[in-house]
Amino acid sequence: MKITGTFLDEISHDIPHQNWGREEWDRDFAAMKSIGIDTVILIRCGHRRFITYPSKFLMEHEGCYRPPVDLVDLFLELAEKYGMTFYFGLYDSGKYWHNRECEREMEISRAVADEVWSLYGNRKAFGGWYLNFEVSRASAGIIELYAGMGRHVKQLSGNLPTMISPYIDGIKAIGDVGVKDDSIGVTQHEQEWNAILKGIQGAVDIVAFQDGHCDYHELADYLRINKKLTDRYGMTSWTNCETFDRDMPIRFLPIKWEKMLLKLEAARAAGIEKAITFEFSHFMSPNSCYRAAGHLFDRYREHFSL
Protein backbone atom coordinates (compact mmCIF):
# COMPACT_ATOMS: atom_id res chain seq x y z
CA MET A 1 0.00 0.00 0.00
CA LYS A 2 1.57 3.24 -1.17
CA ILE A 3 1.30 6.76 0.20
CA THR A 4 -0.67 8.84 -2.31
CA GLY A 5 -1.57 11.87 -0.20
CA THR A 6 -0.05 14.09 2.44
CA PHE A 7 -1.03 16.82 4.83
CA LEU A 8 0.67 20.20 4.52
CA ASP A 9 1.53 21.51 7.98
CA GLU A 10 2.17 25.17 7.42
CA ILE A 11 1.59 26.55 10.91
CA SER A 12 3.87 23.99 12.59
CA HIS A 13 1.92 24.01 15.83
CA ASP A 14 4.00 21.28 17.53
CA ILE A 15 6.80 20.58 15.02
CA PRO A 16 9.54 22.98 13.92
CA HIS A 17 8.92 25.36 11.07
CA GLN A 18 11.24 24.83 8.09
CA ASN A 19 11.08 28.44 6.87
CA TRP A 20 10.56 27.45 3.25
CA GLY A 21 9.80 29.84 0.43
CA ARG A 22 8.43 29.26 -3.05
CA GLU A 23 11.56 27.50 -4.34
CA GLU A 24 11.72 25.05 -1.44
CA TRP A 25 8.02 24.24 -1.63
CA ASP A 26 8.25 23.72 -5.38
CA ARG A 27 11.11 21.28 -4.86
CA ASP A 28 9.12 19.41 -2.25
CA PHE A 29 6.00 19.12 -4.39
CA ALA A 30 8.23 17.65 -7.11
CA ALA A 31 9.52 15.08 -4.60
CA MET A 32 5.94 14.22 -3.61
CA LYS A 33 5.01 13.77 -7.25
CA SER A 34 7.99 11.48 -7.83
CA ILE A 35 6.56 8.84 -5.48
CA GLY A 36 2.96 9.10 -6.67
CA ILE A 37 1.39 11.61 -4.29
CA ASP A 38 -1.71 13.05 -5.97
CA THR A 39 -3.50 14.65 -3.00
CA VAL A 40 -2.39 17.43 -0.63
CA ILE A 41 -4.40 18.48 2.43
CA LEU A 42 -3.86 21.78 4.20
CA ILE A 43 -4.18 20.62 7.79
CA ARG A 44 -5.44 24.00 8.95
CA CYS A 45 -5.59 27.44 7.40
CA GLY A 46 -4.72 28.93 10.75
CA HIS A 47 -4.26 28.21 14.44
CA ARG A 48 -4.91 30.85 17.06
CA ARG A 49 -3.34 34.07 15.69
CA PHE A 50 -1.19 32.58 12.90
CA ILE A 51 -2.84 32.15 9.51
CA THR A 52 -1.85 31.02 6.01
CA TYR A 53 -3.67 33.57 3.87
CA PRO A 54 -4.55 37.24 4.48
CA SER A 55 -8.00 36.60 5.92
CA LYS A 56 -9.81 39.86 6.49
CA PHE A 57 -12.31 38.07 8.69
CA LEU A 58 -9.74 36.40 10.97
CA MET A 59 -7.56 39.49 11.26
CA GLU A 60 -10.56 41.59 12.22
CA HIS A 61 -12.47 39.17 14.46
CA GLU A 62 -9.75 36.97 15.98
CA GLY A 63 -6.83 39.39 15.97
CA CYS A 64 -4.77 37.18 13.67
CA TYR A 65 -1.43 38.32 12.27
CA ARG A 66 -1.16 39.17 8.59
CA PRO A 67 1.01 36.48 6.94
CA PRO A 68 3.93 37.61 4.75
CA VAL A 69 3.00 35.08 2.04
CA ASP A 70 -0.36 33.74 0.86
CA LEU A 71 0.40 30.04 1.30
CA VAL A 72 -3.07 28.94 0.20
CA ASP A 73 -2.47 30.58 -3.17
CA LEU A 74 1.04 29.08 -3.36
CA PHE A 75 -0.13 25.57 -2.50
CA LEU A 76 -2.94 25.77 -5.04
CA GLU A 77 -0.49 26.98 -7.68
CA LEU A 78 1.90 24.08 -6.97
CA ALA A 79 -0.92 21.54 -6.80
CA GLU A 80 -2.04 22.74 -10.23
CA LYS A 81 1.53 22.57 -11.56
CA TYR A 82 2.00 18.97 -10.40
CA GLY A 83 -1.52 17.70 -11.11
CA MET A 84 -2.65 17.25 -7.51
CA THR A 85 -5.97 17.69 -5.73
CA PHE A 86 -5.95 20.22 -2.89
CA TYR A 87 -8.14 19.91 0.22
CA PHE A 88 -8.59 23.07 2.28
CA GLY A 89 -8.33 22.73 6.06
CA LEU A 90 -10.50 25.00 8.18
CA TYR A 91 -9.37 27.40 10.91
CA ASP A 92 -8.68 26.12 14.42
CA SER A 93 -9.24 28.76 17.09
CA GLY A 94 -7.34 26.68 19.62
CA LYS A 95 -9.92 27.57 22.23
CA TYR A 96 -13.62 27.54 21.36
CA TRP A 97 -14.29 23.95 20.35
CA HIS A 98 -11.68 22.71 22.83
CA ASN A 99 -13.76 24.40 25.54
CA ARG A 100 -16.98 22.88 24.12
CA GLU A 101 -18.06 26.20 22.61
CA CYS A 102 -18.75 24.38 19.35
CA GLU A 103 -21.37 26.81 18.08
CA ARG A 104 -18.89 29.69 18.32
CA GLU A 105 -16.25 27.61 16.50
CA MET A 106 -18.79 26.82 13.81
CA GLU A 107 -19.67 30.49 13.33
CA ILE A 108 -16.03 31.33 12.69
CA SER A 109 -15.46 28.33 10.44
CA ARG A 110 -18.52 29.15 8.32
CA ALA A 111 -17.25 32.69 7.79
CA VAL A 112 -13.77 31.43 6.91
CA ALA A 113 -15.17 28.87 4.46
CA ASP A 114 -17.31 31.54 2.78
CA GLU A 115 -14.32 33.86 2.48
CA VAL A 116 -12.01 31.14 1.16
CA TRP A 117 -14.51 29.92 -1.42
CA SER A 118 -14.95 33.47 -2.73
CA LEU A 119 -11.16 33.87 -3.03
CA TYR A 120 -10.04 30.45 -4.28
CA GLY A 121 -13.13 28.45 -5.22
CA ASN A 122 -12.48 28.88 -8.93
CA ARG A 123 -9.03 27.29 -8.74
CA LYS A 124 -8.58 24.07 -10.70
CA ALA A 125 -6.85 22.17 -7.88
CA PHE A 126 -9.42 23.03 -5.19
CA GLY A 127 -11.01 19.62 -4.73
CA GLY A 128 -12.34 19.30 -1.20
CA TRP A 129 -12.45 20.32 2.44
CA TYR A 130 -10.74 19.07 5.59
CA LEU A 131 -12.75 19.44 8.80
CA ASN A 132 -9.80 19.73 11.14
CA PHE A 133 -11.41 19.01 14.49
CA GLU A 134 -9.44 15.96 15.63
CA VAL A 135 -11.07 13.80 18.29
CA SER A 136 -10.86 10.19 19.42
CA ARG A 137 -14.29 9.79 20.99
CA ALA A 138 -17.83 11.16 21.03
CA SER A 139 -16.89 14.35 22.86
CA ALA A 140 -19.59 16.90 23.52
CA GLY A 141 -20.69 18.78 20.41
CA ILE A 142 -18.41 17.02 17.93
CA ILE A 143 -21.22 15.39 15.95
CA GLU A 144 -22.96 18.75 15.54
CA LEU A 145 -19.66 20.43 14.60
CA TYR A 146 -18.71 17.83 11.97
CA ALA A 147 -22.22 17.63 10.57
CA GLY A 148 -22.84 21.37 10.56
CA MET A 149 -19.56 22.30 8.92
CA GLY A 150 -19.66 19.39 6.50
CA ARG A 151 -23.10 20.36 5.23
CA HIS A 152 -22.15 24.03 5.02
CA VAL A 153 -19.03 23.58 2.89
CA LYS A 154 -20.68 20.97 0.67
CA GLN A 155 -23.59 23.29 -0.05
CA LEU A 156 -21.19 26.19 -0.55
CA SER A 157 -18.97 24.37 -3.05
CA GLY A 158 -21.35 22.23 -5.07
CA ASN A 159 -20.88 19.10 -2.97
CA LEU A 160 -17.08 18.88 -2.99
CA PRO A 161 -15.93 16.01 -0.73
CA THR A 162 -15.26 16.51 2.96
CA MET A 163 -12.72 14.68 5.09
CA ILE A 164 -11.96 14.15 8.77
CA SER A 165 -8.90 12.56 10.42
CA PRO A 166 -9.77 11.42 13.95
CA TYR A 167 -7.56 9.25 16.12
CA ILE A 168 -7.90 6.07 18.14
CA ASP A 169 -8.04 6.33 21.93
CA GLY A 170 -5.32 3.71 22.25
CA ILE A 171 -2.37 3.16 24.57
CA LYS A 172 -0.34 5.96 22.96
CA ALA A 173 -3.10 8.58 23.04
CA ILE A 174 -1.41 10.68 25.70
CA GLY A 175 0.59 13.88 25.69
CA ASP A 176 4.03 12.46 26.49
CA VAL A 177 5.89 9.36 25.43
CA GLY A 178 4.75 6.16 27.08
CA VAL A 179 1.60 4.12 27.31
CA LYS A 180 -1.60 4.36 29.30
CA ASP A 181 -3.73 1.62 30.77
CA ASP A 182 -7.19 3.05 30.07
CA SER A 183 -7.45 2.84 26.28
CA ILE A 184 -11.01 2.08 25.31
CA GLY A 185 -10.34 -1.01 23.19
CA VAL A 186 -11.84 -2.07 19.89
CA THR A 187 -15.35 -2.83 21.18
CA GLN A 188 -15.97 0.59 22.70
CA HIS A 189 -14.20 2.24 19.76
CA GLU A 190 -16.68 0.59 17.44
CA GLN A 191 -19.67 1.60 19.53
CA GLU A 192 -18.68 5.25 19.83
CA TRP A 193 -17.64 5.68 16.20
CA ASN A 194 -20.76 3.95 14.99
CA ALA A 195 -22.74 6.67 16.77
CA ILE A 196 -20.52 9.47 15.44
CA LEU A 197 -20.56 8.29 11.83
CA LYS A 198 -24.29 7.72 11.95
CA GLY A 199 -24.70 11.31 13.13
CA ILE A 200 -22.54 12.81 10.38
CA GLN A 201 -23.74 10.64 7.49
CA GLY A 202 -24.16 12.76 4.39
CA ALA A 203 -21.97 15.56 5.76
CA VAL A 204 -18.62 13.73 5.76
CA ASP A 205 -17.36 11.68 2.83
CA ILE A 206 -13.87 10.51 3.86
CA VAL A 207 -12.66 9.25 7.24
CA ALA A 208 -8.86 8.94 7.56
CA PHE A 209 -8.06 7.66 11.03
CA GLN A 210 -4.59 8.46 12.36
CA ASP A 211 -2.71 5.21 12.86
CA GLY A 212 -0.20 6.05 15.58
CA HIS A 213 -2.14 5.89 18.84
CA CYS A 214 -2.38 2.12 19.26
CA ASP A 215 0.26 -0.61 19.22
CA TYR A 216 1.35 -2.07 15.90
CA HIS A 217 -0.15 -5.51 16.49
CA GLU A 218 -3.52 -3.91 17.36
CA LEU A 219 -3.77 -1.62 14.34
CA ALA A 220 -5.27 -4.07 11.82
CA ASP A 221 -8.22 -4.78 14.15
CA TYR A 222 -9.01 -1.08 14.51
CA LEU A 223 -8.67 -0.49 10.77
CA ARG A 224 -11.06 -3.35 9.97
CA ILE A 225 -13.63 -1.81 12.29
CA ASN A 226 -13.11 1.62 10.71
CA LYS A 227 -13.60 0.12 7.25
CA LYS A 228 -16.74 -1.74 8.32
CA LEU A 229 -18.26 1.41 9.82
CA THR A 230 -17.47 3.69 6.89
CA ASP A 231 -18.91 1.10 4.50
CA ARG A 232 -22.05 0.98 6.63
CA TYR A 233 -22.62 4.72 6.30
CA GLY A 234 -21.55 5.17 2.68
CA MET A 235 -18.21 6.81 3.45
CA THR A 236 -14.71 6.18 2.15
CA SER A 237 -12.01 4.85 4.50
CA TRP A 238 -8.47 6.18 4.19
CA THR A 239 -5.60 5.68 6.61
CA ASN A 240 -3.47 8.55 7.92
CA CYS A 241 -0.09 6.83 8.17
CA GLU A 242 1.89 8.93 10.60
CA THR A 243 5.50 9.21 9.45
CA PHE A 244 6.69 10.48 12.82
CA ASP A 245 7.53 8.22 15.74
CA ARG A 246 5.29 8.28 18.82
CA ASP A 247 7.57 5.80 20.65
CA MET A 248 10.44 8.26 21.12
CA PRO A 249 10.99 10.59 24.11
CA ILE A 250 11.40 13.53 21.69
CA ARG A 251 8.38 14.97 19.90
CA PHE A 252 8.57 14.44 16.96
CA LEU A 253 11.17 12.61 14.85
CA PRO A 254 10.88 10.63 11.59
CA ILE A 255 9.59 7.11 12.13
CA LYS A 256 11.64 3.96 11.74
CA TRP A 257 10.99 2.46 8.29
CA GLU A 258 10.10 -0.95 9.75
CA LYS A 259 7.31 0.61 11.82
CA MET A 260 5.92 2.51 8.86
CA LEU A 261 5.89 -0.66 6.77
CA LEU A 262 3.99 -2.53 9.52
CA LYS A 263 1.32 0.16 9.47
CA LEU A 264 0.99 0.20 5.69
CA GLU A 265 0.68 -3.59 5.64
CA ALA A 266 -2.08 -3.43 8.27
CA ALA A 267 -3.98 -0.90 6.14
CA ARG A 268 -3.61 -3.06 3.04
CA ALA A 269 -4.87 -6.13 4.91
CA ALA A 270 -7.90 -4.20 6.17
CA GLY A 271 -8.90 -3.13 2.66
CA ILE A 272 -8.36 0.59 3.19
CA GLU A 273 -8.83 2.54 -0.05
CA LYS A 274 -6.05 5.15 0.20
CA ALA A 275 -3.07 5.99 2.40
CA ILE A 276 -2.17 9.57 3.22
CA THR A 277 0.42 10.75 5.71
CA PHE A 278 1.14 13.32 8.34
CA GLU A 279 3.32 14.40 6.94
CA PHE A 280 5.67 14.20 4.02
CA SER A 281 7.57 17.49 4.19
CA HIS A 282 8.96 17.11 7.71
CA PHE A 283 9.19 13.36 8.19
CA MET A 284 9.58 11.70 4.79
CA SER A 285 11.04 14.28 2.44
CA PRO A 286 14.60 14.41 1.07
CA ASN A 287 14.29 18.18 1.64
CA SER A 288 13.38 17.95 5.34
CA CYS A 289 15.36 19.58 8.13
CA TYR A 290 15.71 16.02 9.47
CA ARG A 291 18.29 13.91 7.62
CA ALA A 292 16.49 10.76 8.76
CA ALA A 293 13.46 11.84 6.72
CA GLY A 294 15.52 11.64 3.55
CA HIS A 295 16.67 8.16 4.52
CA LEU A 296 13.04 7.14 5.08
CA PHE A 297 12.27 8.47 1.59
CA ASP A 298 15.07 6.30 0.19
CA ARG A 299 13.94 3.14 2.02
CA TYR A 300 10.35 3.74 0.84
CA ARG A 301 11.46 4.17 -2.79
CA GLU A 302 13.60 1.05 -2.60
CA HIS A 303 10.75 -1.04 -1.20
CA PHE A 304 8.27 0.04 -3.85
CA SER A 305 10.87 0.22 -6.67
CA LEU A 306 10.08 3.87 -7.34
Backbone angles phi, psi at 234, to 5 degrees: 70, 30
Instruction: Reply yes or no on whether the pLDDT at 209 is more than 50.
Output: yes
Instruction: Reply yes or no on whether the pLDDT at 183 is more than 80.
Output: no
pLDDT digits (tens, 9 = 90+) for 35-64: 999 999 999 999 999 999 999 999 999 999
Lowest-confidence segment of 7-16, 21-30, 105-114 by average pLDDT: 7-16
pLDDT of residue 176: 43
**How many CB atoms neighbour CB 217 within 10 A?**
9
Please check whether residue 6 is in contact with residue 42, taking contact to mean a CB–CB distance below 8 angstroms. Answer: no
Band (pLDDT 50/70/90 cuts) for residue 24 is: very high
State the average pLDDT over residues 92-101. Answer: 87
Instruction: Reply yes or no on whether the pLDDT at 26 is more than 90.
Output: yes
pLDDT of residue 162: 98
Beta bridge partners of 85: 39
Could you give the percent of the chain with pLDDT greater than 70?
Answer: 97
Its pTM stands at 0.95
| Measured distance CA(302)–CA(306) in Å, rounded | 7
Instruction: Reply yes or no on whether the pLDDT at 179 is more than 70.
Output: no
Please check whether residue 240 is in contact with residue 211, taking contact to mean a CB–CB distance below 8 angstroms. Answer: yes
Query: Rounded mean pLDDT of the chain?
Result: 94
Please check whether residue 200 is in contact with residue 147, taking contact to mean a CB–CB distance below 8 angstroms. Answer: yes
Instruction: Reply yes or no on whether the pLDDT at 114 is more than 90.
Output: yes
Residues 6+ apart with CB under 8 A from 189: 168, 169, 222, 225
**How many CB atoms neighbour CB 231 within 10 A?**
12
Band (pLDDT 50/70/90 cuts) for residue 177 is: very low
Element (H, E) at 274: strand 274-278
CA angle, corner 210, sides to 106 and 238, nearest 5? Answer: 90
User: Domains (ranges, CATH) in the chain?
Assistant: 3-304 (3.20.20.80)
Q: Taking Cα atoms as reference points, which of 120, 121, 127, 123 lies closest to residue 86?
A: 127
pLDDT digits (tens, 9 = 90+) for 123-169: 999 999 999 988 888 777 899 999 999 999 999 999 999 999 999 98
Q: Taking Cα atoms as reference points, which of 38, 46, 44, 82 lies closest to residue 62?
A: 46
Please check whether residue 276 is in contact with residue 39, taking contact to mean a CB–CB distance below 8 angstroms. Answer: yes
| Measured distance CA(33)–CA(38) in Å, rounded | 7
State the average pLDDT over residues 203-221. Answer: 95
| Measured distance CA(178)–CA(146) in Å, rounded | 30
pLDDT digits (tens, 9 = 90+) for 227-249: 999 999 999 999 999 999 999 98
Which residue would you say has higher pLDDT here, 176 or 116?
116
**Burial (Cβ within 10 Å: 0-12, 13-18, ≥19) of residue 66:** exposed
